[in-house]
Amino acid sequence: MDNKTSRCRPVLKLFRLLVLPLYFLPLHSTAQVLNLYDAVNKSVANYPLLQQRQAEVSAGRAHVTTINGNRLPMLILQDQATIGSDNSIQGPYFSMGMVPSTPGSYSSVSGSPIAGNVAISFLKWEFFTFGYYNAQQQDARSQLAVNVANLNSDKYLLTQNIVSLYLDWLKKYRLLQIQNENMQRAQVIFTAIRATVLSGLKPGVDSSTASASYADARISYLQALDNFNYDRITIASYTGANANGLVPDTSILTPSLLLNPAFLQRSDSVIRDHPLLEVYQKQYEQQLAENNTIAKKYLPRVSFDGATWMRSSGISPTGVYPDDLAYGMPYSRSNYLLGLSLSYNIFDLKHRHDELAEGRLLAQARQNAVQTEQLSLDAMMQQANSTYATTLEKLKEIPVQLSSASQAYGQQTALYRAGLNTLIDVTNAQYALLQAETSYVNMQDELLQLLYIRAGLSGQSDIFLQNFKH
């Protein structure tokens, strides 16, 4: 075996591995293309947090119905059948809740049991509360509005996250293709070197250099493959799709969409009802409604009171204690009582003052939160507009760089085959072409990300996503 053949054997083993990376690429015949519009809608439909928020909205609507029932009067029905002694005595005492009553005139001591019966119907209707019921209803509706705002905010954040993740996945898919093409270029160089080294026209060191260049290209490809698969699995977990064979839709990368997105209107300001801003605004309004409820809670109450009752007693009208307990069971007397009452706890004014002071401080804090979020969104819009303008200009220059790098690589390869330059010149041209291709993909991704940020801040998210529906 000659020295040339011995030196080339490791390189020949490496060459046999060149076909293996092709098995890692997604096959278009079995690929399942997922577009951006479907990715967002499937994620919104499947995400548990949004289902939680929707349940909270439903609970908020039920709470409004519950509060509306506070206007109903209170009607208590009661019937008692009792057996006990009747040792009544004159004199006042404070009622301590459920204190048994033995009304009547002062009587002699007797431990004899007597039976009795009483049926009571008591009605209390607070028909005028100085706006307390209305304040409660407004408070409940404000809380419902907070729940709706939380749902819309989380939906916006999820959409933003999915769009960013999808575009990053698309970028990694295209970078994977670029790394595969770079590996194929390394194969072309290796094939040329192998032929010239075996024929003795090139030194053996060139084969070693080509081997190292291919190993580096393969490592870069495998890393790109790992990055792509990571995002593919993440996208599949959000959308509920099968990760096997899942690929992004590359048709969205059209010059008209990137360089002249006429479907989006130019905007320099954030919409007033932006979901991220609205949630803070609704929390502020809910605190104001709660403060109003507190203020009305301690005002007087005007109520209509009514009662009817029937009663019997085991003691005869002459004060005789019958031996038969059944004597006191049939109803013997009935009464009724009607009245208007005004109730007002003067000492609750202290509680009212303290709770309102606390509520005003909370309202101020939530108003400051609204202002802070507004400043943050305004700054985001300004930064997006500024970066978009410069990115657009850079993207217009990238094709020139890409074309020049491609031509340089072809020329350096031709010169090397003719023996007019070195392998280092070819490797440098190959690296320059790889960098130009990578920069082009990164720049397109950055422009798409900026387009969505501007669309989201200006209230055009739905319009943006409609252009990625196929």
Q: Which residues contact 194 (CB under 8 A, 6 or more apart)?
A: 8, 11, 12, 15, 207
Q: Which residues contact 456 (CB under 8 A, 6 or more apart)?
A: 156, 159, 160, 464
% pLDDT > 90, the chain: 51
Query: Hey, how many other C-beta atoms are within 10 angstroms of the C-beta on 188?
Result: 12
Q: How far is CA 247 from the centre of its chain?
A: 25
What is the pLDDT at residue 333? 83
- Cα 127 to Cα 73, 124, 132: the distances in Å are 8, 9, 11
Read off the pLDDT of residues 45-91 as tens digits, 9 standing for 90 and up.
999 999 999 999 999 999 999 999 988 898 888 877 777 766 666 66
Task: Indicate if the pLDDT at residue 295 is higher than 70.
Answer: yes
b/e per residue, 450-467, with b = 16+ CB within 10 A?
bbbbbbbbbbbbeebbeb
Q: 245: alpha, beta or left, given left = phi > 0 and alpha = psi -120 to 50? A: left
Structure tokens at 129: 């509360």
Separation CA 61–CA 145 (nearest Å): 10
Average pLDDT value for residue range 199-216: 71
Separation CA 277–CA 279 (nearest Å): 6
**Phi and psi at residue 311, to the nearest 5°:** -150, 150
Range with the poorest average pLDDT among 198-207, 342-351, 396-405: 198-207
Read off the pLDDT of residues 217-274 as tens digits, 9 standing for 90 and up.
999 999 999 999 999 999 999 999 999 989 999 888 877 677 777 777 888 889 999 9
Structure tokens at 1: 């075996």
* Stretch (H or E) spanning 392: helix 348-417
Read off the pLDDT of residues 422-465 as tens digits, 9 standing for 90 and up.
888 888 999 999 999 999 999 999 999 999 999 999 999 998 99
Task: Indicate if the pLDDT at residue 162 is higher than 60.
Answer: yes
Separation CA 299–CA 303 (nearest Å): 13
The domains located in the chain, with CATH, are: 3-72+129-300+347-466 (1.20.1600.10), 75-87+111-128+301-343 (no CATH)
Task: Indicate if the pLDDT at residue 364 is higher than 70.
Answer: yes
What is the pLDDT at residue 359? 94
Separation CA 96–CA 98 (nearest Å): 6
The vertex-448 CA angle with 440 and 49, nearest 5°, equals 135
Q: Which residues contact 446 (CB under 8 A, 6 or more apart)?
A: 387, 391
Mean pLDDT of the chain: 84
Higher per-residue confidence, 121 vs 197: 121
Q: What are 426's strand-pairing partners?
A: none
Amino acid letter, 258? L
